[in-house]
Structures are given as structure tokens and as C-alpha cells.
């Protein structure tokens, strides 16, 4: 069994991998020992209407699977390390958004079920520490202050 680090670290690594494939719109499902991602590569402006419900009728959707052990390997690889200070400040990068949302889930001591990332919003479905399932639909920008706070508080928290 792989050692679970944190949602912030795991989701950051997934975000980096999806960024390297040019993917910015996707759905992550968290299963025991793995994440399954349904993604739309390089969405064009004309495809935005299709993206709203791409999982209901997947057109050009791709599926990826990440085991916790493969995430741990990538986390220790060069891919998991920040390359420039410019990327540290780019909140809109999928890896930074996912790391921030992961930190949010870690702070809540929540168990992630599903995360859907779209161009300006995201949906979260998780179980909180009291055992209640929660669903949130939020603007990505609503996590910006947490992103800044986390960068200030922890030099050990690696952003990409």
C-alpha cells in the first residue's frame, strides 16, 4: 500500500502532468489507491459549450489513471519541483489551483470523492471530518487568498 502524503501534494503532481499534456478542463474521481481523470485536451473557444457537459457526451475525452505510488514517484522527480519563480506566482495554472484545493481539503480533514475543474469554476464533492458529504460549486478565484496565504506560511509547500 502506498503512503498517502496529502491532497495538496497529490493533486499538484496530477496538475503538473495534465499541464504537460495541455489539459486544463477535467474531472478527477478519487478511488482507493488511485485517481481517475476524464479530460478534454486543448479546448478551443468554440468548444466551450460542449465542455459544460463533456462527461455526459464525451467528445474527444481522454481518461488517465494515477496510482498513489506513481504520484509519489513523480513527486520526487524533477517534474514535481518548481522550475521558475514566475510559475510560483501563476495561480491559474492547473497545478497551483489543484494544490490549493488540495490544501483546502487537507485543512478541512476531508476525504475527496470528485473534483471538476472548468475554465473559471470548479465543483468539489467530499466528506468532511464529521462524516457529512459536502458539495461545493465555486469560482476558481475564490481560492486565490488561500493560495497567497499558503505561499506566505510555508516555504516547504512546493508550488509549480
Residues 120-133: tens digit of each pLDDT = 999 999 999 999 99
Q: Is the pLDDT of residue 109 over 50?
A: yes
This model's pTM is above 0.85: no
Q: 77 falls in which pLDDT band (50, 70, 90)? A: confident
Work out the burial of residue 129: count CB atoms within 10 Å of its CB; fewer than 13 is exposed, 13-18 middle, 19 or more buried. exposed
Rounded distance between C-alpha atoms, residue 136 and residue 122, angstroms: 8
Residues 6+ apart with CB under 8 A from 147: 91, 96, 100
Q: 34 falls in which pLDDT band (50, 70, 90)? A: very high
For the chain, which residues make up each domain, given as ranges? 7-153
Amino acid at each position: 500500500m502506498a503512503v498517502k502524503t496529502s491532497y495538496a501534494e497529490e493533486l499538484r503532481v496530477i496538475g503538473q502532468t495534465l499541464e504537460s499534456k495541455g489539459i486544463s478542463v477535467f474531472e478527477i474521481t478519487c478511488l482507493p489507491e488511485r485517481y481517475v481523470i476524464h479530460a478534454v485536451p486543448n479546448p478551443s473557444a468554440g468548444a466551450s459549450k460542449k465542455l459544460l457537459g463533456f462527461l455526459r457526451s464525451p467528445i474527444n475525452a481522454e481518461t488517465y489513471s494515477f496510482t498513489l505510488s506513481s504520484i509519489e514517484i513523480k513527486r520526487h522527480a524533477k517534474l514535481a519541483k518548481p522550475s521558475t519563480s514566475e510559475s510560483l506566482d501563476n495561480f491559474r495554472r492547473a497545478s497551483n489551483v489543484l494544490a490549493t484545493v488540495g490544501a483546502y481539503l487537507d485543512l478541512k480533514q476531508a476525504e475527496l470523492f470528485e473534483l471538476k475543474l472548468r475554465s473559471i469554476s470548479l465543483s468539489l464533492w467530499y466528506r468532511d471530518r464529521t462524516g457529512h458529504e459536502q458539495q461545493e460549486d465555486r469560482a476558481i478565484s475564490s481560492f486565490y487568498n488561500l493560495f497567497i496565504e499558503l505561499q506566505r506560511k510555508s516555504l516547504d509547500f512546493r508550488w509549480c
